[in-house]
Amino acid sequence: MLLAMVLIGAQTPEARWEVRSELGRCRLAAAPGNATGSSLSFETRPLSRDVSIIAPIAGRQPRREVPATIMFGSSVPTQSATYYPATDQPDKPAYIKTDWATLRRLAEHETFSIAVNGATSSRFSTKNLSAGIDAMDRCRTTILRTMRYVADAETPEPTGGWGDGSGDWIRKKDFPTKLFDAQRNTAALIAWIVGKDGRIRNCTPLVPSGEPILDTAACEALTRRAKFAPPLDPSGKPTEIFGSRIIRYGS
């Protein structure tokens, strides 16, 4: 399910990057012909400081979370990170978790490598990476603009008041029965903002199903019932986060 794609041109054909927005995530990947190779990519989400690096790891891949080290260029500076193993889901490969500031630092060097369990990867080229990072940031901004996001806005009480948050937040009875049952392989990508109070707002079908009545009903149900623990940033201060999920319609 593809929301958008932006191709980032560069000064040479060997340093092109593509930004794709898929499932509410913005992924920056080396384009075909990039000297970096097509195996390197970076992924982030709107409002998140976290960045995932998806790249070949040297040696045997651990099956559990372990410390990792990012090495900038051929110099001494390094940055601690965390390796997370792949899951059974096809869109959840193994990755290195770092942050937005470290991604910016990578662009200041010509290459970088990753060490996991004492084994160091090949060096990855970061040529023209800064242009790709800027495009990935625009991708995040575009998603939030589509959602009409305003920072720190109040969470309005939905029509009919707040619902019981126990059980499934979206239920078959929330939809017109005949329209719901008539669907075959129909799905939508729904996104929302979790406010500082743990309630959601700005629910939006980022990738509509083609049945706006169903998408609207899904967002109304989610807004009415969903309640999260109030999100906190790394320093423990209240913050807002982005969330998304695929909703499938049909009996």
- Average model confidence (pLDDT) for the chain? 85
- The CA distance from 160 to 217, in Å, is 13
Q: Is the dihedral of CA 239, 82, 46, 141 positive or negative?
A: positive
Sheet strands (E) in the chain: 2-8, 17-22, 25-30, 41-44, 50-54, 66-72, 78-84, 95-99, 111-116, 119-120, 124-125, 186-194, 200-207, 241-249
11-42 pLDDT, tens digit per residue, is 334 457 888 888 889 999 877 655 555 578 99
Decide: residue 214, CB within 10 A, 0-12 exposed, 13-18 middle, 19+ buried.
Answer: buried
94-104 pLDDT, tens digit per residue, is 899 999 999 99
Q: Which of 47-56, 59-68, 148-157 is predicted with the least confidence, judged by mean pLDDT?
A: 59-68
- The CA distance from 55 to 39, in Å, is 6
Classify strands 124-125 and 111-116 as parallel, antiparallel or unpaired.
Answer: antiparallel
202-212 pLDDT, tens digit per residue, is 999 999 999 99
Residues 6+ apart with CB under 8 A from 82: 65, 66, 67, 68, 96, 97
Beta bridge pairs of residue 242: 193
Q: How confident is the model at residue 56 (pLDDT cuts 50, 70, 90)?
A: confident
Per-range mean pLDDT, top range of 76-90, 152-166, 186-200 = 186-200
Choose among 196, 205, 199: nearest CA to 233.
196
**pTM, whole model, 2 decimals?**
0.85
Beta bridge pairs of residue 191: 204, 244
Say if residues 246 and 23 touch (Cβ distance below 8 Å): yes
- Encode 192-231 in three state secondary structure: EEECCCCCEEEEEEEECCCCHHHHHHHHHHHHHHCCCCCC
- The CA distance from 241 to 248, in Å, is 23
The Cα-based distances of 58 to 42, 64, 115, 250 in angstroms read: 18, 16, 8, 44
